[in-house]
Amino acid sequence: MSLSLYQASIPVFVRMLGNLSAILAKAAAHAEDKKIDPAIFVNARLAPDMYPLSRQVQIATDMAKGCAARLAGLEVPSYEDNEATFADLQARIAKTVAFLESVSAEQIDGNEEREVTLKLRGRDVNFLGQPYLLYFVLPNFYFHITTSYAILRHNGLAIGKMDFVGQY
């Protein structure tokens, strides 16, 4: 049995965004319990030259929704990138998951050779559908979710590997 383009994308995105949502919920509860301004977490970075948590979540959701739309031949949903609270980030994740769940296997499967062109650092970069997913989107998606986890863990949130990978 082979793995379809849909199976390698949409369910993976939905699961990991669900895990990210659960981690953010724990962070919000932690901030409230410890009387820490939630903005400290939302704006936290691992290093001065890295994006803050809010941007990490924005990019992870952008990767997922952009991939689903491009592989399905749909318009990529546009978000304002103005999330400043845990509630804002949760709403963005929920909106992304709703979009992902609206894209069917029939819209994605069979598009392994679909041409995808992105503007990256001022130049066009061309992909075919399957390499776009496997070599560009998934590594970026996981990087930004991992970095979100690491920012929160670094700032004292008691989370572990199972929070990241989720329950089986």
- The full set of domains in the chain, from first to last, is 10-160 (1.20.120.450)
Q: What is the pLDDT of residue 89?
A: 98
What are the residue ranges in the chain where pLDDT is below 50? Answer: none
Q: What is the pLDDT of residue 21?
A: 98
Cα dihedral 46, 51, 55, 60 in deg (nearest 10) = -80
| pLDDT tens digits, 60-94 | 999 999 999 999 999 999 999 999 999 999 999 99
pTM across the whole model: 0.96
DSSP 152: H
* Three-state DSSP state, 143: helix
Given a contact cutoff of 8 angstroms between Cβ atoms, the answer to whether 151 and 135 are in contact is: no
Q: What is the pLDDT of residue 167?
A: 85
Given a contact cutoff of 8 angstroms between Cβ atoms, the answer to whether 92 and 100 are in contact is: no
